[in-house]
Amino acid sequence: MAKIIDGKAISKQIRSEIAAETAEFIKNTGRTPGLAVIIVGTDPASQVYVRNKRKACEEVGFYSEGYELPESTTQAELEALVDKLNADEKINGILVQLPLPKHLDETAILLRINPQKDVDAFHPYNVGKIMIGNYKFLPCTPAGVMSLLERSGIEISGKECVVVGRSNIVGKPQAMLLLQANGTVTICHSRTKDLAEVCRRADILIAAIGKADFFGAEYIKPGAVVIDVGMNRRADGKLTGDVNFEEVEPIASYITPVPGGVGPMTITTLMKNTLISAKESVNA
Ligand code: NDP
């Protein structure tokens, strides 16, 4: 029977630490960390994420601004808003909720955000800093996974870590962070041969492919730590991860549930990054 890594509880603990640090920061500087969240269009899942992000801001004592723009927003209008927020001293973090509607150039928008306010850490400047291990912001989901491992007392150094998924927002930065923590890292993707065999080498398996209940018992080495980043909707509307929890839980040593595992940590890291940015802005 695996120990369940309770992302909700760990996240709550970290958020209360951030709230205490924020109160101290406000007392010392008279400034309140500020996050601006922009959403374009009416995707219901994105709207839920945006609402949760603003709620988290309230919880830790941040100032927040929300921009809900219509689907018809043009590239020039969105860029003008990003420029305005780049110049706004009240705002330390700018988050553009992805995906953007098809007619908008996502890459150009992400490049437009001042890297000092890029609290999602998607700007190539920040991605480059992560590569060389000299970073200010960490990408929210992979950093959340690292906090879960750390706070659960799981040693990474020298361990075989297998990351399945190579997206720019999860798989690649996740692999980099595990490498920096001295893990021996393998990255798998849709062309990997004998995926189950490679996964069975893992002391720490990170599943991030977006396929419901994909990883069954045959992918797991007994005693492995299994982190499920996946968030998928079953036909009945239920949220489920990439890991078949019922099959894997009896074999693993630690496992994250979905929901209540990695999910809550992503927004918590966003709060952490916004506070870091606010602190840097006073030192600048
Ligand atoms: P992407 O779709 O961008 O990437 C998926 C990756 O998985 C790709 O690299 C793809 O390989 C690989 N892949 C797909 N199918 C297979 C397969 N059968 N075998 C091996 N590899 C496969 O997804 P994201 O990285 O954005 O997200 C992954 C999951 O994590 C999703 O479920 C998403 O909802 C969730 N997520 C959760 C977050 C959270 O806060 N908990 C935050 C962000 C994402 P290839 O490159 O070869 O195509």
pLDDT digits (tens, 9 = 90+) for 232-256: 988 888 999 999 999 999 999 999 9
pLDDT > 80? residue 20: yes
Rounded to the nearest angstrom, the gap between the alpha carbon of residue 23 and the centroid of all alpha carbons in its chain is: 24
Asked if residue 125 is part of any domain, the answer here is no
Ligand 1, residues 10, 209, 232: which to mutate, most atoms within 8 A of Cβ?
209
Residues with CB under 6 A from ligand 1: 141, 164-167, 169-171, 188-192, 195, 208-211, 229-232, 262-263, 266
Nearest to 98 by CA among 156, 40, 164, 176: 40
Q: 59 — phi, psi (to 5°)?
A: -60, -40
CA atoms within 13 A on the CB side of 43: 13
Q: Is the dihedral of CA 42, 258, 150, 158 positive or negative?
A: negative
Is residue 10 classed as helix, strand or coil in its secondary structure?
Answer: helix
- 225 plus 149 within the same structural domain: yes
Q: How far apart are CA 173 and CA 142, in angstroms?
A: 7
- 104 plus 150 within the same structural domain: no
- 74 plus 162 within the same structural domain: no
- 241 plus 207 within the same structural domain: yes
Q: What is the 232 CA–ligand 1 centroid distance (Å)?
A: 10
Task: Output the pLDDT for position 185.
Answer: 98
Asked if residue 22 is part of any domain, the answer here is no
Q: Give the global pTM.
A: 0.96
- 155 plus 241 within the same structural domain: yes
Asked if residue 256 is part of any domain, the answer here is yes
Asked if residue 270 is part of any domain, the answer here is no
Domain at 65, CATH number:
3.40.50.10860
Asked if residue 267 is part of any domain, the answer here is no
Grade residue 229 by pLDDT with cuts at 50, 70 and 90. Answer: very high
Active centre residues (catalytic): 53, 97, 120
Grade residue 83 by pLDDT with cuts at 50, 70 and 90. Answer: very high
Please give the average per-residue pLDDT across 41-62, as a whole number: 90
Q: Which amino acid is at 139?
A: P
- 101 plus 193 within the same structural domain: no
Asked if residue 148 is part of any domain, the answer here is yes
Asked if residue 10 is part of any domain, the answer here is no
Residues 6+ apart with CB under 8 A from 84: none
Q: What is the 211 CA–ligand 1 centroid distance (Å)?
A: 8
Provide the domain count of the chain: 2
Domain at 202, CATH number:
3.40.50.720
- 158 plus 210 within the same structural domain: yes
Asked if residue 91 is part of any domain, the answer here is yes
3-state helix, strand, coil in the chain (%, to 5): 45, 15, 40
Which range of residues forms the domain containing residue 201?
140-262
Residues 6+ apart with CB under 8 A from 47: 39, 68
Task: Output the pLDDT for position 158.
Answer: 98
Q: What is the 19 CA–ligand 1 centroid distance (Å)?
A: 32
- Which residue's alpha carbon is nearest to atom 18 within ligand 1? 190
Q: Beta-carbon neighbour count of residue 133 at 10 Å?
A: 10
Please give the average per-residue pLDDT across 28-47, as a whole number: 93
